[in-house]
Amino acid sequence: MTTLLLAYCFPCSGNLITAERIRTSLESGGHRCIRKCTSDFDGCKEFWEFITDNGIRCIMGINACRTGLLLRDCPVPFGLVFGGTDLNESPAIPDSMDLMTATVNQARFLVCFSKELKQQALRLWPHVLDKIHIQPQGVCTYASTPSHRSDILTAYRTAEFGSCACGCTDNLDDSTKVFLLVCGLRPVKDPLYLLQAFSEWHRNDSRVLLIIVGPEMNEDYARKVKGEICRCPGILLLPPLPQTDLHTLMLHSCAVVNSSVSEGMSTAILEAMCLGVPVIARNIASNAAIITHKETGLLYNSPEFA
């Protein structure tokens, strides 16, 4: 049987990682699986032609809002995997909420990563109780232990939008205290929330360095982040890294930090935990669902947690 995985697969986004894991799982069970991004189709007509031409018999959509335009009237049975933005942010936009409601009603099944997300989905659509399921995410890590963080930073900090206001990465050594924030540059991930606090910490202790790694997912917001970083010593911005380099950099960090306003289930937090790297995360429901404060990580309520 051929299954189509449909997601908004921005490079290095959480949706892309989730889609790849589902694809691997389905293929290991003997299913043929095709992964496509919503942007690969100009509209429903082209989407339906692709379904017919490839013998697609079922579809899994990742993110109810991003995939809703294509799936709402889809002639093939489909299920939905909720991300985080679709449940936490999109309902505030009436058109998005209407689209998701129509798509959720047509879906054969719904999947959430945590109990908290399931509760949020049921607050929005109480009638879907019988077809909603919880399936926590799993992660795979690919760290290359022989690598050194200085090699990784040298390779990527000269990228087009790599930047640091004080040149503090020129002489990295074993005493440098690296904190890693992995996120796309968009408001819901809120990297600006921590900049001033970490920059002030760096002024008091020049060994402290916050490294932000992620793609530009909102052009205006990314420009704002870059402008602020130019005024904040002790902050380095890097483009998306290959998984092996990212996980190696995690291993060479004091902690992985999270600043999100809302989350589905943070892949970066799960990967850090898998690697045995401390995690420091904003105290929101989805982070609290996977972190027990002072046992499996730290949850903070203000940027001055340090």
Report the alpha-carbon angle 212-35-33, nearest 5: 135
CATH topology of domain 149-300: Rossmann fold (3.40.50)
Cβ-based neighbour number of residue 266 at 10 Å: 28
Residue 159 pLDDT: 47
User: What is the structure's pLDDT at 140?
Assistant: 74
**Distance between CA 209 and CA 302 in Å, rounded?**
19
- Indicate the average pLDDT of the chain: 84
CATH number, domain 2-134: 3.40.50.2000
Give the pLDDT of residue 36: 87
Question: Same topology for domains 2-134 and 149-300, yes or no?
Answer: yes
Q: Does residue 141 register a pLDDT over 80?
A: no
What does the pLDDT look like over 146-161, one tens digit per residue? Answer: 556 666 665 555 544 4
- For residue 167, the model assigns a pLDDT of 56
pLDDT one-digit tens code per residue, 69-103: 999 889 899 999 998 888 888 999 999 999 999 99
Predicted confidence (pLDDT) at residue 117 exceeds the cutoff of 60: yes
pLDDT above 60 (res 204) = yes
Beta strands 132-134; 163-164: pairing state: unpaired
Query: CA-CA distances (angstroms) from residue 286 to 73, 113, 265?
Result: 31, 9, 6
How far are the Cα atoms of 98, 130, 182, 186, 216 from residue 234, in angstroms, in the given order? Answer: 44, 50, 16, 21, 20
- What letter would DSSP give residue 179? E
What per-residue confidence (pLDDT) applies to 29?
75
Per-residue pLDDT for 279 more than 90? yes
- pLDDT of 27 reads 77
Task: Reduce the DSSP state of residue 56 to 3 states and report it.
Answer: strand
Q: What is the mean pLDDT of residues 21-48?
A: 84
- Residue ranges covered by each domain of the chain: 2-134, 149-300
Residue 216 clears pLDDT 50, i.e. is over it: yes
> Is the confidence at residue 297, as pLDDT, over 90?
yes
How confident is the model over 243-269, as a mean pLDDT? 90
Give the percent of the chain with pLDDT over 70: 83
Query: What's the pLDDT score for residue 161?
Result: 46
How high is the pLDDT of residue 242? 85
- Asked whether the predicted pLDDT for residue 3 surpasses 80, the reply is no
On the question of pLDDT at 214 being above 50, the answer is: yes
Calculate mean pLDDT across residues 171-182: 81
Which of 44-48, 173-177, 193-197, 216-220 has the weakest average pLDDT?
173-177
